[in-house]
Amino acid sequence: MTGYADASVTADFGTLTVELKAVNGRFLELSLRLPEDLRSAEAALRERIAALVARGKVDCRVSLTRDPLAGAARINAAVLAQLTDLWRQVHAGLPQATPLSTADVLRWPGIIETGAGADPDGWRPALLQVLEQALAGFLAARAREGAALSTALLERCAAIEGIVAQLREAVPRILADAERRLQERLSQALGKALAGSALSREEINDRIRQELSVQGMRADVAEELDRLLAHVAEVRRTLHQGGGVGRRLDFLMQELNREANTIGSKASAVDMTNAAVELKLLIEQMREQVQNLE
């Protein structure tokens, strides 16, 4: 499911901001972007997000804005020495290169130290705190979307049940019409083929009844309709139960589609063919929505 949330916390060393956003995806694809000073917390962030989010392409971005007034600001001598050495190497290879300005030096990562919060490990509690705040808003947004998707799925469940009810009412008539047409064709065909043969009319009628019985069993979709309703009931139960429903509903969509295909293959009238097409359309709409559910 999609979702977006952000949260910030201000501490003595500056301001930490966590931004979470997600688009639809069948599996969890988590991307983290962190300042180098916070890289040591990446594993903890991944573990916490993965514990609460199971699906979607999730992007987590953490930013740190230092407070220049927090503690006594000073230049990190080791980083400055490293930067100076790098500059000498660049100048040796590219004498025409423009020298670094004071602003360039001060923007270099880690060049400025402050007395407060200089140790990155000291930032971790604040980072985890702001992550929890962002996750709360993020999960709430996804829950609202999930509720809307659940309503859409339940509407399609009702539409499927309506089609099944129509088919149950129409199937006896459809089968009777198909049986009548088949009986007429068989009577004509067998009557001509067996004219003058030793078979009696009663034996010919027995053969016709056997063919009609086989054809009736092949065209009967009562079991498929029963299974459709059972799967729809399971979809309703799963949605009402809540929690992680995405993979369970994925499976149910496959089963619903299987029954709709069988009904289409057994169709002996335009009414049944049209109903099968409508069922497949509704199930495909549901399948697309299910991909978005956690």
pLDDT tens digit at each of 294 positions of the chain: 678 899 988 876 678 899 999 887 777 889 999 888 788 888 999 999 999 888 788 999 998 887 655 555 678 888 888 889 988 888 888 888 888 888 888 888 878 765 544 455 667 888 889 999 999 999 898 888 888 888 899 999 999 999 999 888 877 777 666 666 666 666 666 655 555 555 555 655 566 556 555 555 555 778 888 999 999 999 999 888 877 787 888 899 999 999 999 888 877 677 788 888 999 999 999 988 887 676
Which residues share a beta bridge with 31? Answer: 59
- Whole-structure pTM value: 0.57
Domain check: are 245 and 176 in the same one? Answer: yes
Q: Can you give the pLDDT at residue 123?
A: 78
Q: How many CB atoms lie within 10 A of CB 223?
A: 10
Domain check: are 32 and 121 in the same one? Answer: yes
Domain check: are 10 and 81 in the same one? Answer: no
Q: Residue 23: which CATH number?
A: 3.30.230
Domain check: are 166 and 65 in the same one? Answer: no
Is residue 200, in this structure, part of any structural domain at all? no
Domain check: are 48 and 135 in the same one? Answer: yes
- Tell me which residue of 9, 12, 283, 21 sits closest to 156, measured CA to CA: 283
Domain check: are 108 and 152 in the same one? Answer: no
Q: Residue 232: which CATH number?
A: 1.20.120
Is residue 204, in this structure, part of any structural domain at all? no
- Tell me which residue of 142, 121, 143, 132 sits closest to 8, measured CA to CA: 132
For 68, 135, 139, 146, 245, the CA distances from 58, given in Å and listed in that order, are 32, 11, 12, 16, 19
Is residue 207, in this structure, part of any structural domain at all? no
Domain check: are 43 and 117 in the same one? Answer: yes
Distance CA 69, CA 119 (A): 16
Is residue 188, in this structure, part of any structural domain at all? no
Domain check: are 153 and 274 in the same one? Answer: yes
For 15, 49, 115, 220, the CA distances from 123, given in Å and listed in that order, are 10, 18, 13, 69
Q: Is 33 helix (H, G, I), strand (E, B) or coil?
A: strand
Distance CA 272, CA 163 (A): 10
Query: Number of folded domains in the chain?
Result: 3
Is residue 60, in this structure, part of any structural domain at all? yes
Is residue 134, in this structure, part of any structural domain at all? yes
Q: Which domain holds residue 267?
A: 145-180+221-290
Distance CA 119, CA 13 (A): 10
| Identity at 16, one-letter amino acid code | L
Distance CA 88, CA 75 (A): 19
Domain check: are 134 and 152 in the same one? Answer: no
Is residue 210, in this structure, part of any structural domain at all? no
Burial 6-32 (b: 16+ CB within 10 A, else e): bbebebebbebbbbbbbeeeeeeeeeb
Domain check: are 124 and 61 in the same one? Answer: yes
Q: Can you give the pLDDT at residue 116?
A: 45
Domain check: are 43 and 63 in the same one? Answer: yes
Q: Residue 156 is encoded by which pair of tokens?
A: 């399609």
Is residue 215, in this structure, part of any structural domain at all? no
Domain check: are 66 and 121 in the same one? Answer: yes
Q: What is the crossing angle of helices 124-193 and 270-290, to 10°? A: 170
